[in-house]
Structure 1
Amino acid sequence: MRAPVYVATLAAALFSVPTTAATAAAEKDCKPKYSQRMASSIIARGQGVMTGLGGASEALQAGVVQKAFTALSAHAAHDHASAATYEQYVRVSATSVIPFLSNALTDSLTYPMDRLSNGNALLALSTAKGSLYRIAADALRESINLNRRNSEGGLWYFVYPYWSYLDGMYSLAPFYTLYSLTRPGSNRTASLDDMLLQFDLLWRHTRHNATGLLSHGYDASRTAVWADPVTGASPYVWGRSLGWYTMALVDTIEILEKEKAPSKYKASLLDKFQNLMPAVLKAVDPRTGGWWQIVDQPGKAGNYIESSATAMFSYSLLKGARLGYLPKKLAPTAAIVGARAQKYLTDHFVVENADGTLGWNGTVAVCSLNSTASYEYYVGQPILYNSVLGSASYVLASVEVEKL
């Protein structure tokens, strides 16, 4: 879908782009491509390549790098050398996960739902029947069937009984959808219905009526120390978990549209996206243009602007505006806010290293519901320098800004 004209107009105003064609072209040529610079830095650090030594989140680190580099490769298609570099790194990353993700039963027990973030790249590389990429993609799909569920059919995020997180949707939904629509004999209707169910259950259990935002997750048994006695929801809106969910919505809608899925699936997700993103816009910090670690507690002592969530919301808003997934009245604001957030990230969290690479700061290491899930817990978790969960999300947001 072609980007609306207003998006380019807003970008020009926001970044003070010269209005003449000659000066605009000259500035475009010399303007740094932060997406490519950050991607080169991720490659230089060897991030997104699975070793088996990086803990349960290592599969997610690989998956989000694959997704970011796939988007960047398509965006840089006119630069054949750069595009080839990103495509090759996707292959290196996808190849690295094969030894760890090719056994469905082990996958479903050893790694959180985040493991599924590798599925789209594995599918793209599954050109030959019987290839190792296809074996791994099929194992990941089978692992969804083996993943434990609560009494409502909600997938456990990991090993914690009956707990479902927003986080897992970014990994689950785009892969589940693409596999169901492109692989013969994949029980398409049942799979797509199940994909919608996972979005719906999280929405029903975790949505805050007052703000329209979604909290981190829920316990279907309502026995966790943090669980709401009625809904089972955790008490706080954690930025990155909500960011995973918004990205899952916009990416899955795009796949449903591209693969010409029955309209009811896109309509259901589009309704959620169009209801959720106004709440995200309302929660943006007006001073910085970023989003707080605990989104629904702005300015509270200990709270801070968190870089990975800000990148994820920037990406979701910009992509939603570009593809026409937001109402026409809201899309201009979404484009401005998304672009402003990416600029704030560039100015405050991107670190210029002496060797020419870019560092990345301001991303919280991890927040798990296997905790008290208290306010003090969320704001007390350490910041991880060069977290690829943040830097790869920044690549995605930067690609969207550069498309303006």
Structure 2
Amino acid sequence: MASSIMSRSQGIMTGKGGSSELLQAGFTQKAFTAIVSQYPDSDVADIQEYISTSASSVIPFISNATYDALSYPMDRLSNGNALVNLAAMTNNATYRAVAEALHESIDLNRRNPEGGLWYFTYPEWSYLDGMYSLAPFNTLYAILTSTSEADINAAMDETQFQLDLLWNHTYNESTGLLVHGYDDSRTAVWADPTTGASPHVWGRSLGWYTMALVDTLALIPNSPLRYKDYLIEKFRLLASAVIDAVDPQTGGWWQLLDEPGQEGNYIESSGSAMFSYALLKGARLGYLTDTLAPKAVEVATRAQGYLTETFVVHESNGTLGYNGTVSVCSLNSSASYEYYVNQPILYNSVLGSAAYILASLEVERLSPP
């Protein structure tokens, strides 16, 4: 799948690829970095080179922190992981400077009165989506560049604060799931008058948040334990709810998790891969209880198998395609059931295929090839 992504030149920033292009680049870098990390003794030079090419491609677009913070959604931060790692590996001044500018843009990002980061230009709106780009990068940057434990703790305080704000506003006690986002001003057409929450649980947005928890957990030091304890508590609660929300017939997850089986709803391939990855990684790293971990592995492994059978396409030219990934769903809409289930389905969206790579890598850890 990685070779197929490279053959299509996906995950390379051009400025012409739509609103999610920066996220496509950052997510591709993340998936490819996972391949290199898991198989360091294999011939992965082409994949490592592609990571560098992708990271370099975003530099003209995000090298100015002020322009960056005002012009791109929080998805921009997904590129920070590769940039800060490449800066550390190569001692390249350009990578370091761009990583610094990208990190500075967090402070320049607009916030609602509670201090929650706006996802984009929509006043007072915060999305689950942004946490995948913020939390691991903010944590990794602090660990690799900070000169004191106090600086690392300050970064973790901010990361936990942002995750917690979204949790408190979007958590549904009856399902244990989180809806797409919230409007702190409670003025959006979809906003709950009490919490500001949007009405539906969009699979991919919850997938971003779930991956943010497990990927950040994998980065943070064990001391002080309060950060790890907080993230583990939230991850366990969410993992249990995600497992309960799986479709028993297919083993995948719905486009809208709070409306299973309703007319127009369908099993969506990017969110399903994200849940499979997060559950398997969380179980592997010991973040789930002894009771929950085996169930997570069973459910997630079945899901990855379903994705392989249903959405992976063997093309005549020898490449692999990936189907069933919904296009971008925005709260800059009615946020209605009809809106979510009628957004276009994309073929070969890297937001799906990169998630599939991450899930597949975790399955391969269970039974190495």
TM-score, normalization: structure 2?
0.97
Q: Runs of 5+ in structure 2 lacking a partner? A: none
Q: Are 2:207 and 1:243 aligned?
A: yes
1:76 offset after TM fit, Å? 1.8
Partners of 2:207 and 2:275 within 8 A in 1: yes
1:368 offset after TM fit, Å? 0.1
Deviations 1:88-140 (A, max 9, x none): 11111001111111110111111100000011100111136661111110011
Q: Are 2:358 and 1:396 aligned?
A: yes
State the alpha-carbon separation in 1 of the partners of residues 298 and 41 from structure 2: 27
Instruction: Give 1:121's aligned residue.
Output: 82
Instruction: Give 2:2's aligned residue.
Output: 39
Counterpart amino acid of residue 51 in structure 1: T
Percent sequence identity over aligned pairs: 65
Instruction: Give 1:25's aligned residue.
Output: none
Instruction: Give 1:92's aligned residue.
Output: 53
State the alpha-carbon separation in 2 of the partners of residues 366 and 51 from structure 1: 18
State the alpha-carbon separation in 1 of the partners of residues 197 and 223 from structure 2: 31
What is the DSSP-based 3-state SS (H/G/I as helix, E as strand, rest coil) of the residue aligned with 1:368?
Answer: coil
Q: Are 2:155 and 1:160 aligned?
A: no
Instruction: Give 1:20's aligned residue.
Output: none
1:55 offset after TM fit, Å? 2.4
Q: Are 2:339 and 1:377 aligned?
A: yes
Partners of 1:307 and 1:363 within 8 A in 2: yes
1:195 offset after TM fit, Å? 0.6
Partners of 2:169 and 2:197 within 8 A in 1: yes
State the alpha-carbon separation in 1 of the partners of residues 70 and 365 from structure 2: 40
Equivalent of 2:258 in 296, 299, 321: 296
1:54 offset after TM fit, Å? 1.4
Counterpart amino acid of residue 209 in structure 1: E
Partners of 1:181 and 1:261 within 8 A in 2: no
What is the DSSP-based 3-state SS (H/G/I as helix, E as strand, rest coil) of the residue aligned with 1:299?
Answer: coil
Count of aligned pairs between the two proteins: 363
Q: Are 2:160 and 1:196 aligned?
A: yes
Counterpart amino acid of residue 45 in structure 1: R
Partners of 2:20 and 2:328 within 8 A in 1: no
Counterpart amino acid of residue 52 in structure 1: G
Partners of 1:321 and 1:335 within 8 A in 2: yes
What is the DSSP-based 3-state SS (H/G/I as helix, E as strand, rest coil) of the residue aligned with 1:151?
Answer: coil
Q: 1:298-317 alignment to 2 at 5 Å?
A: 298-317=260-279
Instruction: Give 1:340's aligned residue.
Output: 302
1:57 offset after TM fit, Å? 1.1
Q: Which has the larger radius of gyration?
A: 1
State the alpha-carbon separation in 2 of the partners of residues 335 and 189 from structure 1: 32
What is the DSSP-based 3-state SS (H/G/I as helix, E as strand, rest coil) of the residue aligned with 2:239?
Answer: helix
Instruction: Give 2:26's aligned residue.
Output: 63
Instruction: Give 1:105's aligned residue.
Output: 66
Counterpart amino acid of residue 66 in structure 1: Q
Deviations 1:297-323 (A, max 9, x none): 100000000000000000001001111
What is the DSSP-based 3-state SS (H/G/I as helix, E as strand, rest coil) of the residue aligned with 2:87?
Answer: coil
Deviations 1:246-279 (A, max 9, x none): 000000000014xx45211111111100111100
State the alpha-carbon separation in 2 of the partners of residues 48 and 261 from structure 1: 35
Equivalent of 1:50 in 13, 20, 43: 13
What is the DSSP-based 3-state SS (H/G/I as helix, E as strand, rest coil) of the residue aligned with 2:219?
Answer: helix
Instruction: Give 1:219's aligned residue.
Output: 183
State the alpha-carbon separation in 1 of the partners of residues 249 and 19 from structure 2: 36
TM-score, normalization: structure 1?
0.88
Spell out structure 1 runs of 4+ moving beyond 3 A: 127-130
State the alpha-carbon separation in 2 of the partners of residues 89 and 299 from structure 1: 40
Partners of 1:56 and 1:110 within 8 A in 2: no
1:189 offset after TM fit, Å? 2.6
Deviations 1:124-158 (A, max 9, x none): 11136661111110011000000000011000000
Counterpart amino acid of residue 389 in structure 1: L
Q: 1:319-338 alignment to 2 at 5 Å?
A: 319-338=281-300
